[in-house]
Structure 1
Amino acid sequence: MPNNLLALNWKMNKTPSEAQAWAAELSSALSPGEAELAVMAPAIMLPALAAGLPAGVAYGGQDVSQHESGAYTGEISAAMLRDVGAKYAIVGHSERREYHGETDAVVAAKARQAQAHGLTPIVCVGEGLEVRERGEHVQYTLAQLRGSLEGVGTDVVIAYEPVWAIGTGKTATAEDAEELAEAIRGALTEQYGEAAGTLRILYGGSVKPDNIASICAKPNVNGALVGGASLKVADVVGMNDALK
């Protein structure tokens, strides 16, 4: 199975100068681990962040345009992200789907655009509380996954994020995470064949140093998409150390 990935999603937090200070603190505190780290920061601060990150720590965008270029004021293209050295781009985060009305088709278009420019998209899928309470969380998430991967190649990471566990302090159990990760792995196998075994499936939703090891110990979970706990270096170091 692939090594774990910790994708650190800062959301709309920190300034470029704060990002520089965070990177410097991480450089002095981080010891080598088995997981790959990638900082998903607002695009405006990626150059400043990149200059100070420890060797081997990747970075990427929190979103990417579905368009190549042109009259799309305020959007960030895949070519722009790649030009500043980004490796990843998050697409289809639940906040983008909810607040910006992004459909599965839009998410797939963004993922294809990312791949066209050498970025690895981190495609997010997951259910709300009402869906889970109806017992429809597996079929809902798999339908979302299939729609979001239309025409998308195998250079992709999937992040399962139960919406009810994001920023709420509620966390799906390790068994909950594995139930969906196993189902996602099956769907990926249907689409990609044997290559599905090499793809990383992350769990996202109130991940912290004290629960990440049990979640990532499950056979189909290969890391985490981390929100709030990504903002403090001590928490990042704690999660990195927990996966050694």
Structure 2
Amino acid sequence: MKILSPVLCLLSTGCAELTNVFSKTLPTDGVGSVFCDSDRGDFTYAGGSEEVFDIQVRAWGAGQSRRQAEGRRDRNTWGAVITDDGLLDLWGRSEDLRAGTDIAVAGPSVIDVESVLLDGTARLYDVDGFHYITANRIEGSGIQGDVDLYAALDGIDVEVYPHPGSTIRLEAYGDVVLKLPLGLEYDLEAFPDPGWGAEILDLGFDELWMAPDYISAVTGSGAIRVEIYVVGGTFFLWSAP
């Protein structure tokens, strides 16, 4: 494990923020899934590193002084281990509301990813599998397979390429932007917030029915199930590149 030099940022209010960045690599052999559990901080997973997991952890703390920020930063704890049943288990803990751990992983492009963030943003890029994410906000592109995403505060913005038989389920407080490929066989049901509405691009649907609080769309056999639940934001359905 490598520890990079600490960084001090002086905020405009006169407060200080201190960070340490840690680096760790682990082998990918025999690992079929990733789980990240963090009480305060962001999580990012990006596919493309097939032989090793490249893990970067940014531990940070803020305070009215350098000493206070340093103390909060240094009380952060984190871990990254591979379990006997083939799981990359990541976690971060912070004792103070003004501290946290941001965890970023580059790893295999085909792997299941799950994360539970109590306060942070989760990001997925270029990964194929079954993905279950809970966070304040969720972002991603190049996501393949099945997704079950819950954003508690700041919405969802994702690009998903499902397989035949995949299920896509998004639930969020805030705007939801879902980008899907044109022409696939969808069975879509959405429950938008009638106070915010929805903007729906026709992805080649055979049937499309829209009301202020309910949307139904079907193409062909409807082999790909899509469920959307939105409160406090607008639902946008766009086409993926």
TM-score higher than 0.5: no
- TM bracket (short chain): under 0.3
The TM-score normalised by the length of structure 1 is 0.27
Structure ID, larger Rg: 2
Give the number of the structure whose residues are more often helix, by fraction.
1
Give the number of the structure whose residues are more often strand, by fraction.
2
The TM-score normalised by the length of structure 2 is 0.27
